[in-house]
Amino acid sequence: MPVCSFCKNAYEFPKGTTVVQKDSSVRYFCSSKCRKNMEMGRLTKKVKWVRKSDVVKAERAKYAASKASKE
Ligand SMILES: [Zn+2]
């Protein structure tokens, strides 16, 4: 499962875009939204919706951990 280079979310393979650059570095994007934001030169830490998705991710991890401890 590739991890988006911009929003750091993991996504399923058929979705998203893989960009191989001239210096052979590979960038993975979960959506065109992430690709366009990266092309515009935006920083991940300064974009509100990425921070929001990080919060959601942390909450999901916490929920999964509590569920695993109950079982
Ligand atoms: Zn993304």
CA 70 to ligand 1 centroid distance, Å:
32
Angle at 5 between CA 55 and CA 32, to 5 degrees: 90
- 6's tokens: 């911009």
71 CA to centre of ligand 1 in angstroms: 32
Residue 31 to residue 49: CA distance in whole angstroms = 13
Check residues 12 and 57 and name the one with the higher pLDDT.
12
Here the tokens at position 41 are 């030169």
- Pairing, β 26-29 against β 17-20: antiparallel
10-47: per-residue pLDDT in tens?
889 888 999 999 999 999 999 999 999 999 999 887 88
Which one, of 12, 10, 17, lies nearest residue 54 by Cα? 10
Helices marked H in 1-45: 32-39
Domains and CATH numbers, the chain: 17-70 (2.30.170)
Q: How far is the CA of 30 from the centre of ligand 1 (A)?
A: 4
